Structure 1
Amino acid sequence: MKEILRFLREARVGYLFFTSLIIIGIGFGAFEIIHQTLLTETSSETMQWLYFSRGVIVALVLMLWAAWTVYNYREYYEDRLEATKLRYSDIIEHSADAIITIDNERVITSWNQGAEEMLGWERDEIIGKPISYIVPDELIAMQELECIEFGLKYKGHVRNYETERLTQNGEKKLVNLTESFIRNKDGEIVGRSQILRDLTDIKMREEQIQQSERLATVGHMAAGVAHEVGNPLTAISSLVQVCQRKTDDDFLQDQLKKVREHIQRINKIVRDLVDFSRPSSMQAENVQINEEIQSAVGLLKHDARCRNVNFEMNLEDNLPPITCVPDQIHQVLVNLFLNAVDAMEGISEPVVTITTIREEQHIKLKVADVGKGITEEDQSRIFEPFFTTKEVGSGTGLGLSVSHGIISKMDGSIWVESEPGEGATFIIELPIKN
């Protein structure tokens, strides 16, 4: 009943009824006027013929009126239907999510722009391929498609299912899958629709939040460790110096010297812990990055580890200043340069190439070495606190983590590009601020 009332309302049946009454009234009224004015002496047989003609003419007029009205309404609703199709087509086509339809044989029948951007295939390349074409082999072996089909038949849909899909270049992309049936007007299942939402950025933000929480926890622990270790260490160092002054024995002097060297190494670890855990309270100011680079390189040339290292500097002239704490950016530069030197241990001609260039509203700094390079697995962890690729005892694993924190506070970014056996390049991008 509701559908009938809706149809009558949309079809404007009242309008049609009253216009039909008006046409009938005009038709019959016109004939009556003609009869009263012109045909008063007409015979009864003629009048019967006229009455019949009047009915036929009014009926023809009504039929023409109805046909014209139906034609106009049909055109109107066809235009509305076409506009609705275009609207929903635009929504589907320009959705950021990948929207895919497949038939009952699980062959891809449509592929929107979001799918092109997410997975890389143009629609002409992928339409007609089975949906398994974009599913990783291990998931096919685990019968994922069959599990999805079971969920569809059991609940009528599958929602928020985390899985992976293959991109055109063979990479796996983490996605959220929603799948449901497509039915025709008779209720028969004619296919399925899939909506894929890219979870890469979401997962990355979640990992960043977790990493920040871990760093905060480690920072508190580091501050406590530095405090507890620092005080006894100062006392031990003082006692060693007293012992060195009190003895002339060469053997003891040599052993005490080694003790002091180890104390200095522990002191460095404590300083790194303090730098990692304590935010800087120093004032930021405008700094010329090229001058800081030259200062850091000049300082390192007096370090025994850097005496045979060739520092090549390709510094762009007239770079605008960056806003930072000078001591902090100096600390970052020295750390990157020393890491590059350490990575080239055992190489006959070690070279550190330092490059600065301006790119729009950023200054990019590159520090490249010719060392053994960094594996892809290590690259993903290189900025984690206490992670190091150096031998045990050769590093604390805090230098790059501290540097990452400093650069992040400057609204900049730092990352590494490397291939094993081909050296590594650390890249810093810093904003130019007015």
Structure 2
Amino acid sequence: MRPFANEEWFSAILPNSNVPLSGMMSISGHGHILYIYENLDRYIQNAVAFVRMGIQQGHQTLIIESVTRYQTIRKLLSRQMDESQLALVHHIDREELYRMDGGFRSGIFMERFSRAVEAYQKHGLLLRTWGNIPLKDVQEISCELDAMEHLADECVDGNGLISVCAYDGRQISAAFQLALLRSHEYHMTDEEFVASSLYLRRSDIYPSLAVQNEHQLDMDRSKQEASLMRSQLLATKHQLESFITRNLDPVLILDDHDLAVSVNQAFETTFGWTKDELVGIPSHAMPLLPDERTFEVRRNKSIIAAGGSIEGYESERVTKAGVRLHVMVSSFPLHDSEDRIRGRAVIIRDITERMQAQELLIRSEKLSIAGELAAGIAHEIRNPVTALKGFLQLLQSGSTEKRDYFYEIMASEIRRIEQILSELLMLAKPQAVHFEAKDIRLLLEDVVTLLNGQAILNDVQIVTSFSDEEMMIMCEENQLKQVCINMIKNAIEAMPRGGSLIIDARMNPSGRGVMVSFIDEGCGIPAHLLERLGQPFYTTKEKGTGLGFMVSKKIVENHGGTVAVHSEENKGTTIVVRLPLDGERTGNDE
């Protein structure tokens, strides 16, 4: 032990191999230093020297100190260093690093410290740290502090750091200081620096025979568990291989680099490419993936990387012959023995025939709707035609007293016929999908006009209750009218003995979007059947296909809305359609 000037000993511990510290000793290129200080002024001088010598070597320094002391150290440094050099000095408030709810915990501290070290080492420069430990109730936390210093010693050694841990010598006992010397390679005071004779690396400490025996028993148990796990993993591997090989759906296996490693026979049969043609190709470059669907790869990869699975969504893929297929895509992660994700399996089910069958049934449903509308439309047109015939007979008889009044009524009835025919033609004529701003109230009024005749034939009274305020939505008018027609028709059919249908339109109470309710007095739907509404081919009507509600629900969802059904047997059904206002809709994921 010898007195020394600050810069002399700091020069000695720069990261060079076997740097001479004095005539009697030298140290390695990194070290864990315990600093027990008594004089605060000397402490500040040593901290400044430690940082300044590091800057001269191109090192960055992380100071873990109170804000006040750090400002003092930085002020002294600024007298000798420029801003570019001071940029190598970083600070963390020691209260933030050491403070914890429920008391100090060594594990939590080391997690924070390791993250900080890792963050600054990313800059590519060597790092040294200077930390002053805030001491409160030392006796109560001495065990945790001792554990922390042992963990810190491993961190210093593993990361090649020079790290000073400073303690106020007036606040720690001699016994605690001796304990600290066991986890620090070097010991310094305000004036002296030595290698710690009590320092023991963990590799130098051996447990007792009893502890070694317990350790051996633990190892034996671990071997048995590992053997069992290997057997289970082997069985799982065989099950996975069997699942892939025998699966009737095409299956593609990707590794953790998202490269194809295998496909099954069903894949080769469906798409035309062999396993040898696809192995090694990245998922985003797969020849079966259309250009407009590449966004799916990024999305699916992110979901799997987060540990999730993809239950199934509709998409399109292309065969080697250039044929487009409608498919249902599912995916799940593949884990190794340590439960790390090592790839994913992608199942691509061909649903082309099912989609074609659905399209045929949807067209049939539309034709059926048109036929059912015919009776109501005929009744609706017959009324004004009858009125026109009556007024023509009056005019032919020579009555001239109310000629102008008759003409006005006749013109009104003709306009009503034109309106009904226009609505029918609009529904029948194929149109390109074009979204535009529409007031939902006007759209509903047009549909009610069209279906009022059918309602009267079935002894159903349609009652409208619309909010006075404007409710503009972005929509494809023809599609939403189709939805409203389906809802009203279903309500009429649910009341074979007549009743009232209330159509209520108002702003959503939540303040976002509009809410349209169709409230009937029909027989209601049993609770156990409500869950299946909207499924293809499921219906509560004897001659229905179930596609009407499914189509309506899909149209509403394509408009960014939702459909909710509330029903009670023998009391009636309420269908609530919620749609966003103009300006509230967001773009799709593509």
Q: Same fold (TM over 0.5)?
A: no
TM-score with structure 1 setting the length? 0.41
TM-score with structure 2 setting the length? 0.31
The structure carrying a bigger helix percent of its residues is 1
